Amino acid sequence: MPSPDDMTRTRRGARRSAAGTGTGLGGEEASVRHGTWEPAPAARWEDAFLAGNGRHGALVFGDPEDDRLIVTHHTLVRPNNPPGTTAPPRLAAALPDLQDALLAGDRWAADEFTDGRPLRWVRPFHPGFLTRIRRAPAVPALPVRRAVDFTTGVVSCRCGERRAEVFVSRADDVIVQYVTSPGPVVEIELDHRLPGVPADLGAGRGVATARGETVLTLRARYPGSTAGYTGLTLLLTDTGRTTVTASGIRVEGAERLLLLTRVRRHEGDLDPTGETEALRTLAGGGPSADPASLHARLLARHTALHGAAYRRVTLDLGADETERALPGSSLLRRPDSTALLERLFAAGRYHLLSSSGTGPPRLTGLWTGDWETAWSGAYTTDANLNLQTASAVAADLPEVTDAHAALLHGQAGDWRDNARAIFGARGVVAPAHTDGVSGHAYHFSREYPLHLWTAGADWLLKPLLDAEEASGRQDPRTTELLAELALFYEDFLTRTGPDGRIAIVPSYSPENRPRGGGAGAVNATMDIAAARHALRAAADRAPARDAARLRALADRLPEYRVNDDGALAEWAWPGLRDRYDHRHLSHLYPVWPLDEINPYDTPALAAAARRALELRGTENDSAHGHLHHGLIAARLGDAGRTGAALARVLTGDHFHDSLMSAHYPARDVYNADAAHALPALLVEALVQSAPGRLVLLPAPPDRCPRGRLTGVRTRFGSRLDLTWSPGSYRAVLRPDRDADIDLRSPTATTRLALRAGEERTLGS
């Protein structure tokens, strides 16, 4: 993403609270591998525990006196641009002149390739509202334990006799809050007053009581817009008396409370009757529903889906049981702890699964507690989204891949508009930023000409192609989108350089620029790699005549360039010099995720790529830069660099007590990059696969000398369990189809013939 020095962003510096220093309540210091806990409520929304079903999200503070839950939804984005100003720029007529100028040596020509519009951000993601359950403080204050169970997705809080549980149902798309022994008197309300909320947000609250039921509503309309959102909470109690107050309701004498909450964004007004009836139907259609039995039924339906998905892949590093029992905040102060690495791996899988459904995870996953979300809380596709979803295939989360596919296929029409308007071409061009609805490329500036970037569609399609290799099944929608991408390249790749090879012009390496020139240049290495990969992948699925034409075009693309420092150059065009101190590593795209450059098939280029990695700086120490570095190092078999990249994230104070991460060190700017990408880095360091290759233990960090990784999916159609310790390993392969592969392990390089249904054990 853009540097803080170049684009306005929100910085939310923070300091860890004194909470989180205890060792738990009496008798509850049990080992924790698939969850985390804290001995105090969250003082900041960034530390609130998270739950989600890929549509609705919940941030749970765990305060028994003011039980707050922030409701979010992937669709909650605020209008921010005048109508008619978010179409892609119509620049196709000026493209030939730009290409002529860049090929003639005018290194700044692309700076003027714009329609003069100001920088426009995509619509910002925002929180919806709070549900609040307040009661009188206990005297004396009672100890609190809040926790989240990754295997069930349940966030809980215990304080004296009071117990509260929250989960977001994957089966019924509802936020469920269940409280036992809430207190003699509690007040419940929906509250839109969250940090950064627009002063002129049109908001109103209502309460309806009928037939013994209570429904709370909150309606909000965006300033200057007919769009808005409506939140509804259906309250069920077992006993007691309910009365309406100025802000919500008061409940006296109840032993159990059950709250079912949904939010809907809408254009124009929404009649809440349908949503209210849907909640009543879910609750059994009447006030006689027993909160306890309904809670149990809803929980069972949810955990059947969530638990099965979460448990598919596990990592056990043999951590010390005493450390495993520590609260997350204490573990975070032990960056060398193996228990910390286990917990962050588990938390990353949990958060990635929980934030994937309607779409894949945003920059903040599915969560935010502030209306001023950095970088609009968007989907940023020139590194961030791609890193977050990097573990989806190998770590067996097809829910994430499906959500990713929904984003791409839902925006294909807008991608076609981008290709026509900017490049005068058929086919598709993906934007670098999207709010999840519009796929138009309108977020760009002179400093960051993101509208020139043509490699995005290939990077976004790569996880879908990997998933198809793993499953052995092709999605016709992906094949069609890949064919459209090939059409774009056929129309766009028409210029040549002095050597007779294609010149990609204009070309952009996110978000960098060559020394002594503008960001729009010629032959960015990433653009070359993406075009070659897309054309060849499309050729593999095309009829013979079309396939030959596409492969011939791919073969005419430029070769990669090794610069005077012996490094793979970021631009394969003579005279364009590298700027090394940058957070992005776009030029190493052919190493990761493409695997086109690797130590086995292309050792000379792999050495140049490794040199490029050695020379790359860390710029502003963004978490995504470190983990991107580590993923590339793992592909190159560099365990030292893989471990160092991991260590920089663990020692840089990048994680909140919630185990969600920050973009910068010192927990500055809530951001999911590190949280979601860390499992991918560990998997890549331990197991790598391609359709014809398996690499075991290619780059294990020093902090992982032994362990067990189970359930990994390979791209040749097998599941794998790996156990390792110093000097030995054992791998069990369970193929679901025949495959002939090259095995590379610490002790052997050999050819394996795998047969469907025949378990194969390897080891040393």
pLDDT at 5: 35
136-145, 532-541, 574-583, 724-733: the lowest-pLDDT one:
136-145
Q: Phi and psi for 501 in degrees, rounded to 5?
A: -85, 160
Residue 370 Cα distances to 53, 521, 529, 672, angstroms: 20, 38, 38, 15
CATH number belonging to domain 35-76+127-311: 2.70.98.50
Confidence (pLDDT) at 24: 34
Q: Does 615 have pLDDT greater than 60?
A: yes
Mean pLDDT of the chain: 94
The per-residue pLDDT for 32 is 84
Average pLDDT over residues 679-703: 97
Task: Kindly tell me if the per-residue pLDDT of 25 is higher than 90.
Answer: no
Range from 7-16, 57-66, 217-226 carrying the lowest mean pLDDT: 7-16
pLDDT of 178 over the 60 cut: yes
Write down the residue that tokens 């209570």 correspond to: 214
Pairing of strands 693-696, 739-744: parallel
Q: What is the pLDDT of residue 764?
A: 87
How far is it, in rounded angstroms, from Cα 564 to Cα 566?
A: 5
Predicted pLDDT at 240: 86
Q: Reply yes or no on whether the pLDDT at 206 is more than 50.
A: yes
Establish whether the linkage from the previous residue to 593 is cis, with ω within 30° of 0. Answer: yes
Residue 27 has pLDDT above 50, yes or no: no
Once rounded to an integer, what is the mean pLDDT over residues 329-334? 98
Residues facing 215 on adjacent strands: 208, 234
CA distance 646 to 668: 18
d(CA 250, CA 590): 61
Alpha helices by DSSP H, 566-715: 603-615, 623-635, 639-651, 673-686
Neighbour-count burial of 22, counting CB atoms closer than 10 A to its CB (0-12 exposed, 13-18 middle, 19+ buried)? middle
Mean pLDDT across the stretch 634-654?
97
The confidence band for 213, taking pLDDT boundaries of 50, 70 and 90, is: confident
Residue 29 pLDDT class (50, 70, 90 cuts): low
pLDDT at residue 140 in the model: 84
Q: Which pLDDT tens digit goes with each residue over 363-416? A: 999 999 999 999 999 999 999 999 999 999 999 999 999 999 999 999 999 999
Confirm if 195 and 203 have CB atoms less than 8 A apart.
Answer: no
CA distance 425 to 63: 56
What backbone torsions phi and psi does residue 526 show, to the nearest 5 degrees?
-65, -40
| Residue entry with tokens 């210091």 | 29
Work out the number of other CB atoms within 10 angstroms of the CB of residue 405. Answer: 21
Cβ proximity of 517 and 576 under 8 Å: yes
Pairing of strands 249-252, 241-244: antiparallel
Residue ranges with strand state E in 89-198: 129-135, 144-149, 154-159, 162-168, 175-180, 185-191
**pLDDT-derived band at 103, boundaries 50, 70, 90:** very high
pLDDT at position 211 is: 67
Confidence of residue 141 (pLDDT cuts 50, 70, 90): confident
Mean pLDDT on 671-685: 98
DSSP secondary-structure letter at 491? H
Confidence grade of residue 33 (pLDDT, cut at 50, 70, 90): confident
Q: What is the pLDDT of residue 389?
A: 98
User: How far apart, in whole angstroms, are the C-alpha atoms of residue 755 and residue 735?
Assistant: 7
Q: Which pLDDT score is estimated for 591?
A: 98
CA angle 463, 468, 471 (to 5 degrees): 125
Phi, psi torsion values for 634, nearest 5 degrees: -65, -40
Render pLDDT for 278-294 as a digit per residue (tens, 0 to 9): 999 999 866 567 999 99
Q: How far is CA 661 from CA 414, 650, 675, in A?
A: 31, 10, 5
What residue segments make up the domains of the chain, in order of their start?
35-76+127-311
Q: Are the beta carbons of 168 and 354 closer than 8 angstroms? A: yes
237 Ramachandran zone, left/alpha/beta (phi>0; psi -120 to 50): beta
Per-residue pLDDT for 739 more than 60? yes
Residue 361: what pLDDT? 98
Proportion of the chain above pLDDT 90, given as a percent: 91
pLDDT tens per residue across span 494-516: 999 999 999 999 999 999 999 99
What is the 8-class DSSP label of residue 335?
T
